[in-house]
Amino acid sequence: MTKVNRRDFVLGSGAILSVGSSIGLMTNAHANDATGAWTPLRDMPFPVQEIYPAAFRKSSDPGPSLKPKPLDILVNAGGMTPDDEYFNVTDAVTFYDPAYDAWGYGTPLPEPRHHLSLVNNNGLLYAIGGFARNDRGGWQMRSVCWRLRELNGRWERMRSLPHPQAESVCLSLNRYIHVVGGRAPAGSSNAQWSDHIDTDEHWYFDAGENRWHSLAPLPRPRNSSAGAVVNGVLYVIGGRTVSDGNMTAVDVYDPLADRWEAAKPMPKAQAGLAASVLNGKIYVFGGEYFKPGNGGVFAEAWEYDPDKDDWRAVAAMPRPRHGLGAVTLGNAIYVLGGASQPSGVGTSAALDRFEI
């Protein structure tokens, strides 16, 4: 099979190693000066990158109480796993229980996917978009979506996206699922990374109607951004464009006005990063950058305060990587998977807990 590369240029492996390593060393040299603490935990069952995990619950059984079950585990589904031909795509569903520092397996996906977004919405776990891989190519963008009612239950087919869209920000806001930006097919071809372009499209899914509806488009089309919901508004953070590279842009969506506004940009232009919310603030981790013949990953971690519209550095990642996930459970953020080098190289099984 032809080796699949998701960039229009080929990164030199020597340059990747030297640049990526220097970034990690320089940043972590100051980690003790910044707020926050990192703790390594039990590795994932296998290395995987380009993941969008979500919080979920061990059981749907409410027991004697009518209160919703707490979100006490994190779940990942799909992703890229390494092999001799650059990457495989998995259908595996894994979950982590912080009470036991242990991993387990849930019901596999109906089809292997990478860049598959998981969203917890109204107590159900939704799997949105992503890419499939077969002999036609490794970047076949899908519009088909599924949902899961219980961790070991059956994945149900739900209404597909209006058309294929992936590498988007996918979040639950006011009981609806929002899919914002990312990439979409540029034409009839839909098999390789180069067959897609950036999109500004913004959709929400109404489970009661089983329908997708369009909303105000993202002001700046881009992919590989991070996203978060705080105080009833949605943030799209960083990311990149196919033609111009990484961005510092932060855009904020108000669902009541169906309107976007710009927030203070990130201190650095980062893409392929992850974000999660803790105590009313957004924390952003890692990412990658590309240059012709060169590239690297970020160790930087940032805190954004929505009340002050301001950023500050927090303790840098001890294991810098991109294409990773970040999930809040209780009073900590769990940062998992990704890759220690740009693109499909250096896939990781790491799991680290961040506390502030």
d(CA 190, CA 331): 41
d(CA 141, CA 188): 12
Quick one: which of 265, 298, 266 has its CA closest to 27?
A: 298
- Of 2-16, 51-65, 74-88, which range is least confident? 2-16
pLDDT bucket at 14, cuts 50 / 70 / 90: very low
Beta bridge partners of 137: 134
Burial 213-235, CB ≥16 within 10 A → b, else e: eebeebbbbbbbbbbbbbeebbb
Q: List pLDDT tens digits, range 162-215.
A: 999 999 999 999 999 999 999 999 999 999 999 999 999 999 999 999 999 999
CB atoms inside a 10 Å sphere around CB 331:
10
DSSP H or E stretch at residue 24: helix 13-28
Query: For position 83, what pLDDT does the model report?
Result: 80
Distances (CA, A) of 129 to 5, 120, 172, 226, 352: 20, 15, 15, 16, 27
For the sheet with 351-355, list strands across it.
37-40, 351-355, 332-336, 325-329
Quick one: which of 51, 34, 74, 22 has its CA closest to 320?
A: 22
d(CA 348, CA 320): 10
Residue 265: exposure state from Cβ atoms within 10 A (0-12, 13-18, ≥19): middle
Beta bridge partners of 89: 80
Rg (CA), the chain: 19
Question: CATH code for 13-355?
Answer: 2.120.10.80
Q: List pLDDT tens digits, range 57-78.
A: 987 555 555 566 788 999 999 9
DSSP H or E stretch at residue 319: none
Q: How is 167-183 classified by DSSP, letter by letter? A: S-EEEEETTEEEEE--E
Average pLDDT, rounded, for the chain: 89
Task: Please say whether the beta carbons of 343 and 6 come within 8 A.
Answer: yes
The region, left, alpha or beta by phi > 0 then psi within -120 to 50, assigned to residue 194 is alpha
CB atoms inside a 10 Å sphere around CB 69:
15
Q: List pLDDT tens digits, range 100-133.
A: 999 999 999 999 999 999 999 999 999 999 999 9
Instruction: Reduce the DSSP state of residue 161 to 3 states and report it.
Output: coil
Structure tokens at 219: 């002001």
Quick one: which of 206, 314, 224 has its CA closest to 6?
A: 224
